[in-house]
Structure 1
């Protein structure tokens, strides 16, 4: 649930009006219930029905409204709570006699429905503190959602990617830096066609920056990359100028984040086909929303649900690091990032990127468990002194802050879902690994020319990008 801006609401309305179906359809928006709250506040809700995916409200107080107007009271809901689609604004001041003129919009079975020319007269102020509790079959759960209430076993988030829903996802646009420093910029259409939905699948596909409009090979050495229009981070993260060995990010890729959904504890399930291509890696993550334990070097934690490097073969001595190896786990520190992570090799000479697999994490207050295709392959338990007890003094975790949290800290706060594809960087690919063709990794993680040396090796790695896209079938989150 979120209050929408004028610009966003008008864009949504124009799009949806084009898809509104005839009033003769079998579906009708359920009865709208409005309550004026004492001493102040506003609540509106409709009953939940299957296939309902959005409910939006626009209203004006003591002033007429048309279906193209943005109201004084303006909001949308993308998930039901205990059988109702509820929008609340605690800051609206109403009094007996006020008239709210309004219209509502709903998306049912991927079609838009509008009900307008409606009004509500305030005849009383409802004291919510004196209302009897509503009897439901909602069983208690450790799961907490940022908006609303969760019930045990309830699906609290789901996207089957029948369309690209920007009401659920923020398509990122910025130039990432610490702690991974990948050799990419994240860009959204129309800057670059990196994120799309096709035939019910989400595709995030990296491309070369030099092939984007207005750029060429020389641009990487002397040009400027300006992503300020549409930037989703600070201005400093959306503009860079090439200088010396610091070339522009040579790869442009995509990344999305669940902007309206965050939760603490639950089961996340992602059915995905991982990318194949030298020096690529997928990002299927849970990332801290508020970063209350710090912003540097994974201080507030990242849960990697699944990852496999894009190289078909990659070795260091007898150890395999390529796409035959699934890796993941909680990350709390850059220097000691592998302390809590695990790995699983696929059998029968297959690759994780050859087919779809279902990757899942069960995140609970006392344990984090990872499964693939229904089989548990890794788990992490806190020590007697919490997760921080698993780290020695060489590691740079925020111990004083973690001691204020629970035993699973920093994984005891709201996290969001992040999906993307990156390339290179200084954390995912160990120095001195040898590719399947006998070529060594072309850059050193500590070398200031890392991105440049990666780029110079383009003739060797670009032919391997035959399947560079991360393809997602669905993402689902359930309460514990």
Structure 2
């Protein structure tokens, strides 16, 4: 992964941070970084290992988050890398910094680039004169059971809570509010994702995260319209598509919604639990996703590599019409979809992601299971075999419409037939011009998340 770093304003001063290294035998490195608790809950470590001096060939490069979650060591963040092989006489050139605004995680030619603002400090060096045994984790005397779960920048033990947020406040050290137009999203939702300030659409209230979809026309300039105007997200844009101009039937996204992504947290395998109240309104649907860290959407088939923590309407994308690809409790799914009071209350949704299978659970009832072997074989029929063992981030949002999620034959509770066809080039336009039917049903369009927790297997 390439890291693009931009200096902050000249008046910003890099906070004082000290690093204590423990080069490990037979391999590995632990770096304990002391930083003021008021400054950050995590910092980034960036280092290069040289054989003897900086004029020789680089042996290895390192980058990752050092998170303040190491029990028993006060006021320190821990960076861990257990893949590097170190020897006495080697030199580590390093720097540590605290990110401010994350701009983008772009992928080009399979190379990921993460960009953010920060105060850049000078490089420092550390001479390896001794190798050490690995410090017990998470504290002396604690038994650490091995786990297949991996977390970027740290070691974890089986049963550890590796990520948790109860949304007492909105924590900018855990979440990035996305701003982009998802034109390359395979579901083609009729939305743009923004962080509104005058009338916030992503906020914390009464211990819950709220994500609220709104009409884009309410935020356009007076002389602009959905069908003829332009939308430019400017410097706040966080992904590829940052602007759009309406042209013919290709109108601006009719809905402005919100999306949050767990940055810098990313993991492989675990149990994700979310307690949430789903949005109510025609053509609205929540997205609780595990998105690959270094690959977003690069084509129609890439959606298959995104793990969905909840999928009530269509189960798993691309294989929803093949029961041979998964086991499902169709009776439970039908009951949920037909119960008009289901979305009026909070429910607990769970994804169990292991190397062998995935399971989707709602309120302790298993409703879908598929083995990785079966899932890959089914997806192979579509000419695409995704990887399900890579680091992934949490992503929560509310989407509307789109050209995949809702079958053309669907009819709303009020008896309205879906006003667009998924293959229609005018799909978004027909959705928008039908707003007199669907907008009155948006009685509670907000997605409310009470808590999220991720536990290592």
TM-score bucket of the superposed structures, by smaller chain: 0.7 to 0.9
1:3, 1:75 within 8 Å by CA — same for their partners in 2? no
Q: Which structure 2 residues correspond to residues 184-195 of structure 1 after superposition, within 5 A?
A: 184-190=191-197, 193-195=200-202
2:375 matched to 1:375?
no
Alignment partner of 1:131 is 2:132: yes
2:454 alignment counterpart: 477
Asked if the contact 1:195–1:204 (Cα under 8 Å) also holds between the matched residues in 2, the reply is: yes
Give 1:54's aligned residue: 41
How far apart, CA to CA, are the structure 1 residues paired with 2:39 and 2:236? 30
Cα distance in 1, alignment partners of residues 427 and 145 from structure 2: 52
In the other structure, the counterpart of 1:179 is 186
1:414 and 2:404 aligned: no
Equivalence for 1:355: 345
For residues 258-289 of structure 1, the C-alpha deviation after alignment (integer angstroms, 9 at most, x for no partner) is: 12011111000000000001111111111122
Q: Does residue 372 of structure 2 align to residue 397 of structure 1?
A: no
Instruction: Please tell me whether residue 165 in structure 1 is matched to residue 165 in structure 2.
Output: no
User: Equivalent residue for 1:346?
Assistant: 335
Q: Quick check: 2:178–2:258 contact (8 Å CA) kept in 1?
A: yes
Over 3 Å counting, the alpha-carbon distance change for 1:260 and 1:466 in structure 2 is same
Match of 1:209 among 213, 216, 230: 216
The whole-number CA distance in structure 2 between the counterparts of 1:302 and 1:337 is: 19
Q: CA shift at 1:202, angstroms?
A: 0.5
Indicate conservation of the 8 Å contact 1:305/1:328, yes or no.
no
Question: Any unmatched runs of 5+ in structure 2?
Answer: 46-62, 99-123, 138-142
Distance 1:426 1:379 in 2: 25
Q: Shift in Å at residue 45 of structure 1? A: 3.7
Determine the structure 2 residue equivalent to 1:86. 78
2:161 alignment partner in structure 1: 155
Decide whether aligned partners of structure 1 residues 12 and 255 sit closer, same or farther in structure 2, where only a CA change above 3 A counts. Answer: farther
Distance (Å, rounded) in 2 between the aligned partners of 1:303 and 1:201: 23
Equivalent in 441, 452, 463 of residue 418 of structure 2: 441
Deviation at 1:355, TM superposition (A): 0.3
The answer to whether the 8 Å contact 1:168/1:259 transfers is yes
In the other structure, the counterpart of 1:21 is none
Give deviations 1:424-461, integer Å, cap 9, x for gaps: 00011110222222221111111111111111111111
The question of 1:266 aligning with 2:270 is answered yes
Aligned to 2:109: none
2:256 aligns with one of 252, 256, 264? 252
TM-score scaled by length of structure 1: 0.69
In the alignment, the residues of structure 1 paired with residue 163 and residue 150 of structure 2 have an alpha-carbon distance, to the nearest angstrom, of 12
- In structure 2, the CA distance between the partners of 1:263 and 1:328, relative to structure 1 (3 Å rule), is farther
- Distance apart, 1:290 and its partner CA: 2.5
Could you tell me whether the CA contact under 8 Å between 2:226 and 2:246 is conserved in 1?
yes
Change in CA separation of 1:103 and 1:360 when aligned onto 2, cut-off 3 Å: closer
Q: Tell me if the contact between 2:289 and 2:309 (Cα under 8 Å) persists in the aligned partners.
A: yes
Match of 2:401 in 1: 424
Return the alpha-carbon distance in structure 2 between the equivalents of residues 11 and 397 of structure 1: 53
Tell me the matched-pair count. 395
TM-score, normalized by length of structure 2? 0.73
Deviation at 1:467, TM superposition (A): 0.2
Distance apart, 1:170 and its partner CA: 1.6
Task: Give the match's secondary structure for 2:394.
Answer: strand
Q: Give the match's secondary structure for 1:421.
A: strand
CA distance, structure 1, for counterparts of residue 376 and residue 355 of structure 2:
15
Which digits, 9 at most, give the CA deviation of each residue in 1:341-363, with x for residues without a partner? 85523369443311000100110
State how far apart, in whole Å, the 1-side matches of 2:443 and 2:378 are. Answer: 40
Deviation, structure 1 residue 176: 0.8
Contact 1:433 1:441 in 2 (8 A): yes
Give the aligned partner of residue 59 of structure 2.
Answer: none
What CA distance in whole angstroms lies between the structure 2 residues aligned with 1:201 and 1:11? 36
- Note the alpha carbon deviations across 1:32-56, whole angstroms, 9 max, x for none: 7623869xx9933469x9x998155
For the 8 Å contact 1:231–1:238, the answer to whether it is kept is yes
Give, in angstroms, the shift of residue 220 of structure 1: 1.1
Q: Which moved more, 1:327-336 or 1:296-305?
A: 327-336
Name the CA distance, whole Å, in 2 between partners of 1:335 and 1:416: 28
Q: Which runs of 5+ in 1 are unaligned?
A: 18-30, 59-73, 105-120, 308-325, 403-408
SS in structure 2 of the partner of residue 298 of structure 1: helix
Q: Deviations over 1:201-224 (max 9, x none)?
A: 1000000011115257x5112111
- Is the partner of 1:153 in helix, strand or coil? coil
